[in-house]
Amino acid sequence: EAQVTQNPRYLITVTGKKLTVTCSQNMNHEYMSWYRQDPGLGLRQIYYSMNVEVTDKGDVPEGYKVSRKEKRNFPLILESPSPNQTSLYFCASSLYQEQPQHFGDGTRLSIL
């Protein structure tokens, strides 16, 4: 089954404790992206990747890092999380950026 898998689905942690949210897709897609969803703000792009070893900033990249060492994986790293990064995060992938994006089921992060 074609899917985008995120882990963990839920996480409560404390300020400053490094965390990683993993994202994996099994569709051989070139393009992958991370979004955060906040009430009243819709979906905002954090980082995206056009292909292996190619990443770039989206609209709200501050406080986040990503890597794309393999085509299927695109982890999101919060080196020193802060409460304003409490949000619902989605990973998405598509064949290319102008193709329909497949979304994971989301990761709800709470930073205390």
Partner 1 sequence: GENVEQHPSTLSVQEGDSAVIKCTYSDSASNYFPWYKQELGKGPQLIIDIRSNVGEKKDQRIAVTLNKTAKHFSLHITETQPEDSAVYFCAAIYYGGSQGNLIFGKGTKLSVKP
- Of 4-33, binders to partner 1 (CB under 8 A) are 4, 33
Among 19, 95, 103, 110, indicate the residue that binds partner 1 (CB under 8 A): 103
Is residue 48 at the binding interface for partner 1, with CB under 8 A as the rule?
A: yes
**What residues numbered 63-82 form the site for partner 1, per CB under 8 A?**
none
Nearest to 110 by CA among 13, 6, 7, 8: 13
For residue 82, list its beta bridge partners: none
- Report the DSSP beta bridge partners of residue 51: 54
Is 40 a binding residue for partner 1 by CB under 8 A? The answer is: yes
Q: How many CA atoms lie within 13 A of 4 on its CB side?
A: 24
Residue 61 within binding range of partner 1, rule CB under 8 A:
no
Answer yes or no whether residue 111 interacts with partner 1 by CB under 8 A: no
Backbone phi and psi for residue 83, each to the nearest 5 degrees, phi listed first: -55, -30
Cβ closest to partner 1, residue 53 vs residue 79: 53
CB of 109 closer than 8 Å to CB of 18: no
Is position 34 an interface residue for partner 1 (rule: CB under 8 A)? Answer: no
- Alpha helices, DSSP H, located in 37-92: none
Binding site for partner 1 (CB under 8 A): 4, 33, 35, 40-45, 48, 50, 56, 58-59, 90, 92, 97-98, 100-106
